[in-house]
Amino acid sequence: MTAGNTTEPGTTMSDDKPFRWTFTAPLLLGSTLNPINSSMIATGLVGIGVDFHSGPGTTASLISVLYLCSAVMQPTMGKLSTIFGPRRVFLAGILILLAGGVIGTLAPAFGFLLLSRALIGVGTSAAYPTAMALVRRRADSVGMGVPSRVLGNFSIASQVTAVFGLPLGGVLAGAFGWRALFAVNIPLALITLVATLLGVAKDAPILRRDRGGLVRSLDIPGIVLFAGTIVSLLLFLSSLAAPVWWLLAVVVALGAALVFWERRASRPLIDVRMLARNRPLQRTYLRQTLVALGIYATLYGTSQWMEQSAGLSASAVGLILLPLFGISIVIARVVSGRGWVRWPLILAAVAMVLSSAVMLVITSGSSVYVLIGMSLLLGFTNGFSGFANQATLYVQTPADEIAVASGLYRTFAYIGAIFSSSLIGISFGPAATDAGLHALAWVLGGLGVAVLVLTVLDRSIPIVAEK
């Protein structure tokens, strides 16, 4: 059972505007729903704990369940889109999100909230990989190379929602209670659903096959093995302060079984043969993991340090970090507008090294202006790497693999994000001290050097994305 591409309305070879806002807006909105749900729930955990008589450890599971579901389902949804069509899977994800929003809004017990967050994680995971497949389909239909401005918009949208999620959650929870954090998904899902139906061309009809052919196409054993590998890996990485070594053995066993199965599957979830041959794509995934690890570790590590050691309020910390996101957005727009790829990746690595140098000289008595400078340097890393890594992935991936490859791209970012929590715990120990911050700075510098070497020695990275 396969779903081929269909001719996009309004995108003939002579059309100079294939990416109108009616097409890109629902895809961008859908792709922001995962990061915005990841961040805004933090503002409602206390209220949820009070209403359901649950402690911080229990309520924190609402964060981890979405991360785990997202890490597993991003490439899985990409795989489903190659069988049923990216638009169909995108719409199915929005409907799953809608169900999750309704269940969370009406939840009579904490277990329903866990179910809701799992559904939200699954539903929102469909958006990014299918959106990338839809963008690739439209670009190929008009003979376009890399749609730099569109990819830049995806990078900017994810950065905007990283800023917008917490304040939005705070307003909603403060004005209407924590249930509003789930209810807001209902109108967002409906708007995205209608906009997609109106602005995104239908997939080609699905070719009917026998049930056995469908099962082989789905690669259910591959999905199960991938899920087990990723979940056990993320659980191991999240507990490195006190390692659970048997989990590492599980990761190795499941990972080996996954590779063994996928090498023999007729339509694998992860084309390990292609991935083994595609060394540039491997380096892109590794670079994405290292950048995400560095950014998240520094962002959350310095936030804790500024509150505990520097004695700054939460609002002051937010204002200090605000330039990070502002400069990221500006740089992403400039870089994507010109299609620059190679030099932004090099500059991102240099900015990571410079950020670590500033962190090494910071103490609890340092001026707030030094802290803002560090925030700006980290913003350079974020802004330079976001679009450039996406564009590199785009040119290194075959068209029929772009959905799964994009999903894996997000999965590797989640690995870096979750690993960062353990890295912070190891660096700081029981308290966020100056010494712990300096230890974190050395790690950040090492990550920056690693990204720099990966980029400089990789001659496959284009200087400019072909448009």
Is the distance from CB of 79 to CB of 269 less than 8 angstroms?
Answer: yes
Does 400 share its domain with 422?
A: yes
Would you say residue 59 lies in a domain? yes
Would you say residue 126 lies in a domain? yes
Would you say residue 46 lies in a domain? yes
pTM of the predicted model as reported, rounded to 2 decimal places: 0.85
Does 228 share its domain with 198?
A: no
Does 154 share its domain with 280?
A: no
- The domain in which residue 450 lies consists of 273-456
Q: CATH number of the domain at 136, please.
A: 1.20.1250.20
Under-50 pLDDT residues of the chain:
1-2, 4-7, 9-15
Would you say residue 50 lies in a domain? yes
Domain's final residue, options 195, 229, 264: 264
φ, ψ for residue 464, nearest 5 deg: -135, 140
Does 106 share its domain with 40?
A: yes
Question: How far is residue 94's CA from residue 98's CA, in Å, rounded to a whole number?
Answer: 6
Does 258 share its domain with 376?
A: no
Does 227 share its domain with 203?
A: no
Question: How far is residue 288's CA from residue 282's CA, in Å, rounded to a whole number?
Answer: 10
Q: What is the pLDDT of residue 343?
A: 94
Does 30 share its domain with 120?
A: yes
Cβ-based neighbours of 252, under 8 Å, separated by 6 or more: none
Does 227 share its domain with 339?
A: no
Does 178 share its domain with 245?
A: no
Would you say residue 109 lies in a domain? yes
Q: What is the pLDDT of residue 14?
A: 38
Count of structural domains, the chain: 3
Does 337 share its domain with 443?
A: yes
Does 224 share its domain with 202?
A: no
Would you say residue 11 lies in a domain? no
Q: What is the pLDDT of residue 405?
A: 92
Does 66 share its domain with 189?
A: yes
Would you say residue 9 lies in a domain? no
Buried b / exposed e across 135-154, counting CB within 10 Å, b at 16+? bbbbbebbebebbbbbbbbb
